[in-house]
Amino acid sequence: PVSVLFLVLVCLDLEYRVTSAPICAHGDAGCHLLSVSDLFDRVIQHSNRVHSLSSDLYSEFERFLPVRNQIGRATRKCHTSRILTPNGKENAQRTDREELTQVILRLLVSWMDPLLQFHQSVAHNEELSKFSSNKALELSDMVHELKSGVEKVAEKMQLVGIISNSLNGVFPAEASLSSSASNEARHIRDYELLHCFRRDSDKVQNYLKILKCRIVPELGC
Protein backbone atom coordinates (compact mmCIF):
# COMPACT_ATOMS: atom_id res chain seq x y z
CA PRO A 1 0.00 0.00 0.00
CA VAL A 2 2.72 2.44 0.79
CA SER A 3 4.35 1.47 -2.46
CA VAL A 4 1.26 2.70 -4.25
CA LEU A 5 1.61 5.89 -2.35
CA PHE A 6 5.18 5.93 -3.46
CA LEU A 7 4.13 5.81 -7.07
CA VAL A 8 1.54 8.48 -6.56
CA LEU A 9 4.02 10.68 -4.85
CA VAL A 10 6.64 10.14 -7.47
CA CYS A 11 4.25 10.94 -10.26
CA LEU A 12 3.03 13.99 -8.51
CA ASP A 13 6.51 15.07 -7.79
CA LEU A 14 7.57 14.64 -11.36
CA GLU A 15 4.67 16.64 -12.59
CA TYR A 16 5.38 19.27 -10.06
CA ARG A 17 8.92 19.58 -11.18
CA VAL A 18 8.68 19.08 -14.89
CA THR A 19 5.55 20.88 -15.77
CA SER A 20 3.91 23.85 -14.33
CA ALA A 21 0.47 22.62 -15.12
CA PRO A 22 -1.34 22.32 -11.87
CA ILE A 23 -2.87 19.02 -11.00
CA CYS A 24 -5.89 20.53 -9.43
CA ALA A 25 -7.59 23.79 -9.95
CA HIS A 26 -7.06 25.11 -6.50
CA GLY A 27 -3.47 25.56 -7.06
CA ASP A 28 -0.54 23.56 -6.15
CA ALA A 29 -0.62 24.29 -2.48
CA GLY A 30 -4.16 23.08 -2.11
CA CYS A 31 -3.45 19.91 -4.00
CA HIS A 32 -0.42 19.13 -2.02
CA LEU A 33 -2.21 19.77 1.19
CA LEU A 34 -4.82 17.29 0.16
CA SER A 35 -2.29 14.66 -0.60
CA VAL A 36 -0.49 15.36 2.65
CA SER A 37 -3.71 14.77 4.47
CA ASP A 38 -4.16 11.47 2.69
CA LEU A 39 -0.63 10.49 3.53
CA PHE A 40 -1.20 11.32 7.12
CA ASP A 41 -4.33 9.26 7.21
CA ARG A 42 -2.45 6.40 5.75
CA VAL A 43 0.40 6.48 8.21
CA ILE A 44 -1.96 6.94 11.11
CA GLN A 45 -3.80 3.82 10.02
CA HIS A 46 -0.48 2.03 9.89
CA SER A 47 0.49 3.15 13.32
CA ASN A 48 -2.86 2.04 14.64
CA ARG A 49 -2.25 -1.40 13.26
CA VAL A 50 1.25 -1.48 14.70
CA HIS A 51 0.00 -0.56 18.12
CA SER A 52 -2.76 -3.14 18.13
CA LEU A 53 -0.30 -5.84 17.08
CA SER A 54 2.08 -4.93 19.82
CA SER A 55 -0.76 -4.93 22.37
CA ASP A 56 -1.81 -8.40 21.32
CA LEU A 57 1.69 -9.73 21.58
CA TYR A 58 2.18 -8.04 24.93
CA SER A 59 -0.91 -9.69 26.35
CA GLU A 60 0.24 -13.06 25.11
CA PHE A 61 3.63 -12.68 26.70
CA GLU A 62 2.08 -11.55 29.91
CA ARG A 63 0.14 -14.77 30.08
CA PHE A 64 3.22 -16.91 29.79
CA LEU A 65 5.25 -14.91 32.18
CA PRO A 66 6.45 -16.64 35.32
CA VAL A 67 4.48 -15.51 38.28
CA ARG A 68 7.26 -14.22 40.38
CA ASN A 69 8.13 -11.64 37.84
CA GLN A 70 4.80 -9.96 38.18
CA ILE A 71 6.25 -7.94 40.95
CA GLY A 72 7.87 -4.87 39.59
CA ARG A 73 7.28 -5.62 36.02
CA ALA A 74 9.17 -3.88 33.29
CA THR A 75 11.56 -2.38 35.68
CA ARG A 76 14.32 -2.32 33.18
CA LYS A 77 14.70 0.69 31.09
CA CYS A 78 13.86 0.78 27.45
CA HIS A 79 16.66 1.47 25.05
CA THR A 80 14.72 4.34 23.59
CA SER A 81 14.41 6.16 26.85
CA ARG A 82 17.32 8.30 25.83
CA ILE A 83 15.21 9.84 23.13
CA LEU A 84 13.49 12.84 24.58
CA THR A 85 9.87 12.62 23.92
CA PRO A 86 7.12 14.97 25.06
CA ASN A 87 5.20 13.21 27.78
CA GLY A 88 2.12 15.38 27.95
CA LYS A 89 -0.23 17.29 25.78
CA GLU A 90 1.21 20.68 26.46
CA ASN A 91 4.68 19.43 25.92
CA ALA A 92 3.69 17.85 22.68
CA GLN A 93 1.92 20.93 21.48
CA ARG A 94 4.86 23.05 22.37
CA THR A 95 7.13 20.88 20.31
CA ASP A 96 7.38 22.12 16.78
CA ARG A 97 6.60 20.08 13.74
CA GLU A 98 10.08 19.37 12.67
CA GLU A 99 11.12 18.16 16.06
CA LEU A 100 8.04 16.12 16.40
CA THR A 101 8.61 14.54 13.02
CA GLN A 102 12.17 13.94 13.97
CA VAL A 103 11.18 12.26 17.20
CA ILE A 104 8.81 10.02 15.35
CA LEU A 105 11.39 9.01 12.88
CA ARG A 106 13.99 8.41 15.51
CA LEU A 107 11.71 6.17 17.42
CA LEU A 108 10.79 4.16 14.38
CA VAL A 109 14.33 3.77 13.22
CA SER A 110 15.45 2.69 16.65
CA TRP A 111 13.01 -0.15 16.66
CA MET A 112 13.69 -1.68 13.31
CA ASP A 113 16.57 -3.92 14.31
CA PRO A 114 15.31 -4.95 17.73
CA LEU A 115 12.04 -6.02 16.22
CA LEU A 116 13.80 -8.20 13.72
CA GLN A 117 15.65 -9.89 16.51
CA PHE A 118 12.47 -10.20 18.45
CA HIS A 119 10.81 -11.96 15.56
CA GLN A 120 13.67 -14.40 15.33
CA SER A 121 13.47 -15.02 19.02
CA VAL A 122 9.76 -15.64 18.90
CA ALA A 123 10.07 -17.94 15.93
CA HIS A 124 12.34 -20.19 17.97
CA ASN A 125 10.13 -20.15 20.99
CA GLU A 126 8.05 -23.29 21.06
CA GLU A 127 5.78 -22.17 23.84
CA LEU A 128 4.18 -19.47 21.78
CA SER A 129 1.66 -20.16 19.12
CA LYS A 130 2.16 -19.78 15.43
CA PHE A 131 0.10 -16.64 15.56
CA SER A 132 2.64 -14.97 17.74
CA SER A 133 5.39 -15.67 15.30
CA ASN A 134 3.32 -14.34 12.44
CA LYS A 135 2.38 -11.28 14.38
CA ALA A 136 5.99 -10.61 15.25
CA LEU A 137 6.94 -10.83 11.62
CA GLU A 138 4.08 -8.58 10.60
CA LEU A 139 5.06 -6.18 13.30
CA SER A 140 8.57 -5.96 12.03
CA ASP A 141 7.42 -5.41 8.48
CA MET A 142 4.86 -2.84 9.38
CA VAL A 143 7.34 -0.81 11.35
CA HIS A 144 9.50 -0.72 8.27
CA GLU A 145 6.59 0.47 6.20
CA LEU A 146 5.57 2.98 8.78
CA LYS A 147 9.00 4.41 8.87
CA SER A 148 9.01 4.73 5.08
CA GLY A 149 5.59 6.31 5.16
CA VAL A 150 6.59 8.86 7.74
CA GLU A 151 9.65 9.65 5.71
CA LYS A 152 7.46 10.27 2.72
CA VAL A 153 5.19 12.49 4.73
CA ALA A 154 8.16 14.41 5.95
CA GLU A 155 9.44 14.84 2.45
CA LYS A 156 6.07 15.96 1.28
CA MET A 157 5.79 18.45 4.03
CA GLN A 158 9.18 19.76 3.26
CA LEU A 159 8.27 20.06 -0.37
CA VAL A 160 5.12 21.90 0.39
CA GLY A 161 6.89 24.01 2.88
CA ILE A 162 5.03 22.94 5.90
CA ILE A 163 8.23 22.13 7.65
CA SER A 164 11.60 23.46 7.03
CA ASN A 165 14.41 21.49 5.64
CA SER A 166 16.15 21.34 8.90
CA LEU A 167 15.64 17.67 9.38
CA ASN A 168 18.92 16.28 10.41
CA GLY A 169 19.96 12.80 9.94
CA VAL A 170 18.16 10.47 12.16
CA PHE A 171 20.33 8.84 14.71
CA PRO A 172 18.76 5.77 16.02
CA ALA A 173 19.16 4.77 19.58
CA GLU A 174 21.38 1.84 19.94
CA ALA A 175 19.78 -1.15 21.44
CA SER A 176 21.68 -3.30 23.79
CA LEU A 177 21.58 -6.67 22.22
CA SER A 178 21.77 -9.06 25.04
CA SER A 179 21.64 -12.66 24.17
CA SER A 180 20.27 -14.69 26.98
CA ALA A 181 20.97 -18.30 27.45
CA SER A 182 17.89 -19.69 29.05
CA ASN A 183 14.44 -19.68 27.57
CA GLU A 184 13.00 -17.98 30.55
CA ALA A 185 15.46 -15.15 30.46
CA ARG A 186 14.82 -14.71 26.80
CA HIS A 187 11.13 -14.75 27.46
CA ILE A 188 11.44 -12.03 30.06
CA ARG A 189 13.65 -10.00 27.79
CA ASP A 190 11.12 -10.24 24.96
CA TYR A 191 8.36 -9.31 27.31
CA GLU A 192 10.11 -6.20 28.40
CA LEU A 193 10.96 -5.38 24.82
CA LEU A 194 7.30 -5.58 23.96
CA HIS A 195 6.42 -3.45 26.90
CA CYS A 196 8.76 -0.73 25.67
CA PHE A 197 7.69 -1.01 22.08
CA ARG A 198 4.01 -0.92 22.88
CA ARG A 199 4.51 2.33 24.64
CA ASP A 200 6.64 3.77 21.88
CA SER A 201 4.12 2.84 19.23
CA ASP A 202 1.47 4.65 21.22
CA LYS A 203 3.70 7.68 21.32
CA VAL A 204 4.24 7.53 17.58
CA GLN A 205 0.52 7.29 16.92
CA ASN A 206 -0.24 10.17 19.22
CA TYR A 207 2.41 12.38 17.74
CA LEU A 208 1.25 11.67 14.24
CA LYS A 209 -2.29 12.62 15.15
CA ILE A 210 -1.15 15.81 16.72
CA LEU A 211 0.87 16.62 13.66
CA LYS A 212 -1.99 15.92 11.34
CA CYS A 213 -4.48 17.97 13.25
CA ARG A 214 -2.01 20.76 13.45
CA ILE A 215 -1.23 20.74 9.76
CA VAL A 216 -4.53 19.75 8.19
CA PRO A 217 -7.06 20.32 10.91
CA GLU A 218 -10.21 20.41 8.81
CA LEU A 219 -10.55 16.74 8.14
CA GLY A 220 -11.37 14.45 10.99
CA CYS A 221 -10.01 16.32 13.93
Partner 1 sequence: MSFLFIGCWWFTKDSLVSFSKAFSSKPSVLEKSLKRAERMKEACGAKCVLFLLFVQTWLVENTGHTSPGKPVLLRCRSPEKETFACWWQPGSDGGLSTNYSLYYTMEGSLEDAVHECPDYKTAGLNSCYFNKTYTSLWITYTISVVAQNALGSKSSDPMFVDVAYIVQPHKPENISAELRTQDQKPYLMVKWEPPHKADTKSGWITLHYEIRLKAEKGAEWESHYAGQQKQFNVFSLHPGEVYLVQVRCKPDHGFWSEWSATTYIEIPDYFRPRDTSVWILIAVLSVCIFLILAWTVAIKCNSIKSYLLPPVPGPKIIGFDTQLLKSGKSEDLLNALGCQGFPPTSDCEDLLVEFLEVDDGDEQKLVMNEGEDDLEGRVKSSGNEVDNDSGRGSCDSHTLLLEVSNSSTKTYAQVGSNSNNKGSVKLSRKCSTNGKLLRFETAGEKTNTWPTANSSFLLARQSSCYNISKIHREACSLGNKADMHGNTSSAHKSKEYRELHSTVSGDQKTWFADEKHDTPLLPFKSAEYVEVQRLNQQSMLILKPKTEGHKSVPPEFIGQEYTKVSGVVSDRVLLLLRDTGAQGSSDTQEGENQAVHPSLQCQVGKMVGTIPASPALEGMQLAASGYVDTAALLQSF
DSSP 169: -
Q: Does 166 bind partner 1 (CB under 8 A)?
A: no
Q: Does 48 bind partner 1 (CB under 8 A)?
A: yes
For residue 17, count other CB atoms closer than 10 A to its CB: 9
SS3 57: helix
Q: Shortest approach of partner 1 to residue 132 CB, angstroms?
A: 20
Piece in contact with partner 1 (CB under 8 A), picked from 110-118, 119-127, 149-157, 205-213: 205-213
| Cα distance between residue 151 and residue 52, in whole Å | 22
Q: Does 33 bind partner 1 (CB under 8 A)?
A: no
Q: Does 55 bind partner 1 (CB under 8 A)?
A: yes
Q: Shortest approach of partner 1 to residue 76 CB, angstroms?
A: 10
| Cα distance between residue 80 and residue 75, in whole Å | 14
Q: Taking CB under 8 A as the criterion, which residues in 74-113 touch partner 1?
A: 74-75, 77, 81, 85, 87-90, 92-93
Residue 197 CA, distance from chain mean position? 10
Question: Would you say 9 or 194 has its CB closer to partner 1?
Answer: 194
| Cα distance between residue 56 and residue 187, in whole Å | 16
Q: Does 38 bind partner 1 (CB under 8 A)?
A: no
Q: Does 45 bind partner 1 (CB under 8 A)?
A: no
Q: Shortest approach of partner 1 to residue 28 CB, angstroms?
A: 26
| Cα distance between residue 58 and residue 63, in whole Å | 9
- How many angstroms separate the Cα of 161 from the Cα of each of 115, 196, 213? 33, 34, 17
Q: Name the residues that contact partner 1, by CB under 8 A.
A: 48, 51, 55, 71-75, 77, 81, 85, 87-90, 92-93, 199, 202-203, 205-206, 209-214, 217, 220-221
